[in-house]
Amino acid sequence: MKAERGEMKKGYGEIRLFPEVPDDLWHLEHLISPGDLVFATTFRTAETPQDKLRPEKAEKRPVRLGIRVEKVSFHPYTNRLRIGGIIERGPDVGSHHTFNIDPCIEVSVIKQWSPLDQERIERAERSTTFGAIHILTLEEGEAELFRIRQFGP
């Protein structure tokens, strides 16, 4: 993971996080908690007047939104982090929205950062420089191959 720290005042501030691998999404699940303000670029449906007899498929356009987090969940089998909450900045303020964060999607988090959070970010930054670890097990002619990740095999 890559991180860009903004100005911090007594531990409060914004950190831009760039997850690169699924392990980084697992770290983000533990860094982002309910009540945090999270910014990311997402797609929202552009509202257009519907005065046609046959409505066309609505166009989605990229929008940068800021949501107040209510729920965070990491899905290891799809390698996706879902962050849900109420929009505070951007169009449709007050509506619910869910970010689907994949590797290589930037996320900005504004919160009161604890020393434990800072240490987790540093650990995530260091871990991306290591190679992958694989384990091969052989038993009675059958083989299983596992890739070890920080959130499990």
Q: What is the pLDDT of residues 9-37, one digit of tens each?
A: 888 999 999 998 888 898 999 999 999 99
What pTM does this model have?
A: 0.75
Q: What is the pLDDT of residue 62?
A: 86
Residue 25: closest CA among 140, 142, 138, 128: 128
147 or 107, which is more confident? 107
Residue by residue, DSSP assigns 89-105 as: ESSSTT-EEEEEE-TT-
Quickly state the pLDDT bin for 131 (edges 50, 70, 90): low
pLDDT of the residue at 84: 95
Q: What is the pLDDT of residue 46?
A: 67
Whether the CA torsion 4, 100, 69, 88 is positive or negative: it is positive
Q: Name the architecture of domain 2-148.
A: Roll (2.30)
Q: Which residues pair with 3 in a beta bridge?
A: 17
Helix (H, G, I), strand (E, B) or coil at 119: helix
Whole-number Å distance between alpha carbons of 79 and 89: 27
